[in-house]
Structure 1
C-alpha cells in the first residue's frame, strides 16, 4: 500500500493535532483512504528539530510539553534548522504551519519554496505564501512536478476553494462576498448584545478567539489576505494586496449597531470581489449593515460563509467552521487526500498511455 512520509514544519496547535490524528487514527485512516502516513521530521521554535527517517515515535513527540522539553533529549537538536530539514529530510510532503508575517509571508514563503525546489509536495494553512506569492509558488510547483495545496488558508476545514473549483465547472462566477473572520464576527455579535468594541475585544481575548494584538482581525488584514486568495484562485483576478481596499470594524460604534438593529439590519465584516464588465475584478473588505434576510446576516461566531454569484445557479453559499485546531488539521489532511487522488489519477493515465 502507498505510504507518504511527512515533515511537519511548526509543531503548534494545528500540526500537533495532525500528529495526534495520525497517532490515534492512523490505521483507520489507512484502511479508509488507501494510503498510510508517517511523520519523519518535525521542527518547532520551542522544541527544536527531530529527523528520524524510520518514523518518529509520536507518543514521545506529543508528550514533550512544559518548560525544558526539547527534541535534543531524543536524538534531535534543541535549535530548529528549518532550511536543512526541509531540503535534506526524506519526506515526500512538507506540512507548513508556522507563524507568518502578513507583510511579506515569511518565513513560510521560504519554507514552501525550499520544499518545492527540493521536489517535495507542500500543504500549508498559512495565508501569507498563498496570498502574496501564490502564483509564483504554484508555477514553481508545476515546473517541479509536485503539488502545492492550501485549502486551510481561507476557511479552515471548510473546503471552499476545492469545492468551488470542482463543483462550479461550467458556471461563470461573477464574484463573491463572505464572512471569513470569526473574531470580528464574534465582536460584532457581542456589540449587538450591548458591549462596547474594546469590551467585546477583551472578552474575545479571554475566550481565546482574539490574539493579544487583535489588529489583524479587527482592522481587516486577515480578511484582506483571504479575499486576495479567493479572487486570484477562483476569479483568476491577478490582483496584489494593494488592490484590495480594507476597512476594519474599529469605526463601528455601539450607536451604529443599535441603529442597525432598529432598521432590521446587522453589522458584518464582509470581504468581497466582483467581476466588472471589462473583465477586471474589484475587491475589498469593509463593515456592512446587512438586512436580516441577507444570506450572510445570520452567520455567527466562528462560523464562516462565502456566497458566490453564478450565471446559471444564482447565489451559491458555502458555510462551515472557519477556525479551530481540529478543523484546520483536517484541512491539511484533505490536502494530502487531494494530492493522493491526483497522483493516483496521473499514474493510471500513464499506465493506459503505455499499454
Structure 2
C-alpha cells in the first residue's frame, strides 16, 4: 500500500471538493490503486494553516467549513497564522494548491507552489494564476528538485484535456487548438440563441451561481485567456504574456447578431484558440466570439459545458467535451493528478 501525506492550501469550493472525494472514494483508492491518502494539513486565508501529523478528520473539516466555523476548532492541531509558514514548517508529500486565481501577480498561490517544490513536494493545482503567468519557471523548479507539477484542473476542471494531449496523444504534432473554455459565456450565448437578452441572461447566471457578482473575468474573456496561456506552454512550449493574446469578450454581442447567425445556420461562441505557424515560428493566440457553422462540433456545445478541439497530424481532429467548473468536477481533476503522481512513486 502506497501512502501519501497531502496538504491542501485553499479550502474553498475546490479544496473542499477534493477533500470530499478523498472520503467518498477512500475504499476505491485503497482497492483499485493501493493508495492511502492522509490529509495532514489544510489552510485558508481566514483561519490560517492547521496541521496534525496523524491526519485530519475530513468530515469534521467539511462540517466546520459548511458552518463557517474556524478550522482551528479541529481537535489536536498545530496552527500557523500564515499558510506559507505552516507549509514550510510541516511539508508533506504533495501540495494541492487551490487558492483563488489572481492574474496580476499569481499570489499567494505562486509562493505556495514555489515553497512546496523547493522543499521536495509534488504539486497539483487548480489555480490558473501561477500556471498562466509562470509555468516555465515552475516546471523548471520542479525538474530541479526531481518532483512533479501537474495542473489538469486549470483548463477544464476534471475533464481530461491536458492529460489527453500530453499523454493520450503523445507522439502527435499538434498544429492548433480551439475551445469553448468558459462556461459562463457559453451559458449566456446559448440562452441568447433562444431570443433572450444579454442582461437578462447574465442576471440569471449570477442568480444560479454560474457567474460572479463581478462577471468581468468571464464575459470579457480573461478567464479563457488564462487557459490559453497555460495551453500555449504545455502544448506548444511557448511562454506567452497576456498582451500576446488578442482578446475580445461577449459584452458587445447583440441579440440581432445572434439571430442573424442562426438564420445563416451558424452559432456564435466565444472561442479561445492557438494556431502554430511554423513557417515564421509564431503562435497565434486569440479569445474572440466567432460564428461557427453547425458542422463544427463546438457549435453544438451549449449551456455551461466546455469543449476543446485539438488539430494534429496523425489524429486530424479530436474533440473533448465536458464540464469546465464545479466543486466535485474540479476536485476530480486534482484527484486524477494525485493518482498520476502516486502511480510513479
TM-score bracket for this pair, using the shorter chain length: over 0.9
The superposition leaves residues 138-169 of structure 1 with CA deviations (integer Å, 9 ceiling, x where unpaired) of 00010011111100000100111111111222
Deviation at 1:48, TM superposition (A): 3.3
Structure 2 distance, partners of 1:195, 1:100, is 31
Equivalenced residues, count: 343
**Offset at residue 80 of structure 1 (A):** 4.0
Residue aligned with 2:15, SS? helix
Give ranges in structure 2 of 5+ residues lacking alignment.
none
Q: Paired residue for 1:318?
A: 320
CA distance in 2, matches of 1:90, 1:53: 10
The residue that corresponds to 2:145 in the other structure is 144
Distance 1:25 1:316 in 2: 30
What is the aligned partner in structure 2 of residue 171 from structure 1?
172
1:131 corresponds in structure 2 to 132
User: Retained in 2: the 8 A contact 1:290–1:297?
Assistant: yes
Three-state SS of the structure 2 residue aligned to 1:230 is: helix
- Structure 2 Cα separation of the partners of residues 176 and 341 of structure 1: 29
Which 10-residue stretch deviates more, 242-251 or 57-66? 57-66
Residues 116 and 253 of structure 1: is their aligned pair in 2 closer, same or farther, counting only changes over 3 Å?
Answer: same
> In structure 2, the residue corresponding to 1:64 is in which secondary structure?
helix
Secondary structure of 1:296 counterpart: helix
Distance (Å, rounded) in 1 between the aligned partners of 2:81 and 2:162: 32
Describe how 1:239-254 pairs up with structure 2 within 5 A. Answer: 239-254=240-255
Give the deviation of 1:282 after TM superposition: 0.8
The RMSD of aligned alpha carbons is: 1.6
Instruction: Give me the TM-score of the superposition, normalised by structure 2.
Output: 0.95
User: Residues 124 and 150 of structure 1 are in contact (CA less than 8 Å); yes or no, is this contact kept in structure 2?
Assistant: yes
- Counterpart in the other structure of 1:260: 261
- Give TM-score scaled by structure 1 length: 0.93
Q: 1:191 to 1:90 in 2, by over 3 A?
A: same
SS at match of 1:101: coil
Cα deviation, residue 79, structure 1: 6.9
Question: Are 1:283 and 2:285 an aligned pair?
Answer: yes
The reply on whether 1:60 has 2:60 as its aligned counterpart is yes
Contact conserved, 1:100 with 1:107, CA < 8 A, in 2?
no
> d(CA) in 2 for partners of 1:147 and 1:271?
27
Moved more, 191-200 or 265-274: 191-200
- What's the secondary structure of 2:179's corresponding residue? strand
Which ranges of structure 1 fall in alignment gaps of 5 or more residues? 344-355
Compare relative contact order (CA 8 Å, sep 6+) and give the higher one, 1 or 2.
Answer: 2
